[in-house]
Structure 1
Amino acid sequence: MTGPREHGPLPALLLALTVSTGLVDAVSYLALGHVFVANMTGNVVFFGFAVGGADGVSWSAALLALGCFGAGAFAGGRHGVARRIHRGLLLAMTCATQCVLVAVTAALAAFADPARRGTQLAMIALLAVAMGLQNAVVRRLAVPDLTTTVLTLTVAGLFADRTPNEVRLRRVASLLAMLAGALAGGLLLRHGPLAAPLWAAAAVLAACAVTADRLRRRDAAERWG
């Protein structure tokens, strides 16, 4: 029998991605009309609220986020499938792609009119594609308890399961990473321009891409590839 698969630096990199998720969802929910681009459970609920006539919720924004997230996930599910590639390279390629999408969204927020509905919908679409791509690739990386976008099962497992301290620590770290990203995003929105959390998220993604690519080139990278 083979032992548990090694993950090398992947857990730390995925925690950084979780921070970027908090930054991005802070923008989408607080500034783009109460819609999530990473948490699709929330959008399904929002869509139901909107169809039921609730005020302050847009069915079109929720539906757009769902569709674009699905498109990103579709692309992520096929990213690098034709040939087996190192998990570090897969993560680096994904983060680089996300960085471009988030940076374009930040540029829209900075140089277009973010109050226009068309600009908001374009931003939602770009961010949802980026988060769908991330979600699909993280599933393929298969690091336990680090989904980077959804914490419901993480919270349930934290309280329901009898697990080693290492597993509990990883789950708590995931929660704290999302909290840190959301807190930072909220503060940046309150005290700075709309684009600020997005530039921060793009910087985190760029750092993850560079770090993952460098680490996968090391000799020890074979064990977690």
Structure 2
Amino acid sequence: MPQVLREARDTLVPDMGGPHGPLPPVLLVLTVLTGLVDAFSYLLLGHVFVANMTGNVMFLGFSFAGAASFSTLASAVALLSFGAGALAGGIAVHRARAHRGRQLQHALLVETVFVAAAMIVTLISGGPYTGGVRFALIVLLGVGLGVQNAVVRALAVPDLTTTVVTRTLTGAVADSRLAMGPGSKAGRRVLSAAALLAGASVGALALLNGHPSLPLILAVSLLAVMATAATPLARSDAPWTRPAGGA
């Protein structure tokens, strides 16, 4: 079997006795979720991301320069909300620092609350999402995705950040044998990029051909499944549950 396919298989169906156990496929699902939520925020909330903060920093620069269609306030609110979520997520994971399964469960439960609240706002308010509703959605989703990124950072599974693709794709090419590198782990890295692409595509298709709330409904459904699956993981004593630094 080619190395790339073997790496992809090992990511989708990981060795439960390995250093990261079931975490790689869980993080791939969360990467799909990131695409869904950012598709919703960018297309319906006015050129703002709630998960990929690099984009918001760029948008702030565009708005400072006077470019149309970019809101300084919206980008700033997204950044601050994400920061608040990262703080909450950091508290959640540090309270369970000795067990990665509990870190994942705690963060998923908190994230689910915020993304579900955003979904409810969309269902009650109806579109278009402007004014206070728009900013409420940015805050709720920004906090939720900040929590997600905090736990992903704590879990420290290589090449599965759920948001940043630039570094992942750079590694896939720069570390390849063609570049005289040690090996690119391209299977896992390509899967990570593909998961984000899939989430963004499904989110955009849902918006363009369905109900505006549909990406968030799908996101909450994924979170509910992941939070349920994390319950037995939080009780596991397998080697992968130990902090990443000691794996």
Instruction: Using structure 1 for the length normalisation, give the TM-score.
Output: 0.92
Q: What SS class does the counterpart of residue 92 from structure 2 fall into?
A: coil
Looking at both structures, which has the greater relative contact order when contacts are Cα pairs under 8 Å and sequence separation is at least 6? 1
1:130/1:163 CA distance change after superposition, 3 Å = farther
Q: 178-187 or 95-104: which moved more?
A: 95-104
Select the residue among 171, 183, 198 that pairs with 2:189.
Answer: 171
1:104-127 CA-partner distances (Å, limit 9, x unpaired): 101111111443321011101110
1:224 counterpart = 2:240: yes
1:163-202 CA-partner distances (Å, limit 9, x unpaired): 547x221111101110110011011001111111001001
Shift of 1:32: 0.4
Q: Matches of 2:239 and 2:62 in 1, distance apart?
A: 47
Select the residue among 207, 215, 219 that pairs with 2:225.
Answer: 207
Select the residue among 139, 149, 155 that pairs with 2:163.
Answer: 149
Would the aligned equivalents of 1:108 and 1:114 in 2 still touch at CA under 8 Å?
A: no
Q: Matches of 2:225 and 2:198 in 1, distance apart?
A: 17
Select the residue among 165, 172, 175 that pairs with 1:158.
Answer: 172
The residue type paired with residue 175 of structure 1 is: A
Would the aligned equivalents of 1:98 and 1:130 in 2 still touch at CA under 8 Å?
A: yes
Q: Matches of 1:123 and 1:37 in 2, distance apart?
A: 9
Q: Which residue of 1 aligns with 2:11?
A: none
Runs of 4+ in 1 over 6 A off after TM superposition: none
Shift of 1:38: 0.6
Q: Matches of 1:89 and 1:83 in 2, distance apart?
A: 6
Select the residue among 52, 57, 61 that pairs with 1:39.
Answer: 52
Q: Which residue of 1 aligns with 2:91?
A: 78
1:122-174 CA-partner distances (Å, limit 9, x unpaired): 10111011111111111110100000011110011011013547x22111110
Q: Matches of 1:163 and 1:27 in 2, distance apart?
A: 38
1:42-81 CA-partner distances (Å, limit 9, x unpaired): 1011011111111111110000000011111111122142
1:20 counterpart = 2:33: yes
Q: Which residue of 2 aligns with 1:96?
A: 109
Q: Which residue of 1 aligns with 2:208?
A: 190
Which runs of 5 or more residues in structure 2 are unaligned? 1-17, 176-180, 242-247
Would the aligned equivalents of 2:81 and 2:143 in 1 still touch at CA under 8 Å?
A: yes
The residue type paired with residue 151 of structure 1 is: V
1:182/1:163 CA distance change after superposition, 3 Å = farther
- Calculate the aligned-residue CA RMSD, in Å: 1.5
1:59/1:184 CA distance change after superposition, 3 Å = same
Q: Matches of 1:51 and 1:70 in 2, distance apart?
A: 21
1:200/1:83 CA distance change after superposition, 3 Å = closer
Q: Matches of 1:126 and 1:174 in 2, distance apart?
A: 25
Would the aligned equivalents of 1:38 and 1:131 in 2 still touch at CA under 8 Å?
A: yes
The residue type paired with residue 199 of structure 2 is: G
Would the aligned equivalents of 1:39 and 1:149 in 2 still touch at CA under 8 Å?
A: yes
Q: Matches of 1:25 and 1:19 in 2, distance apart?
A: 10
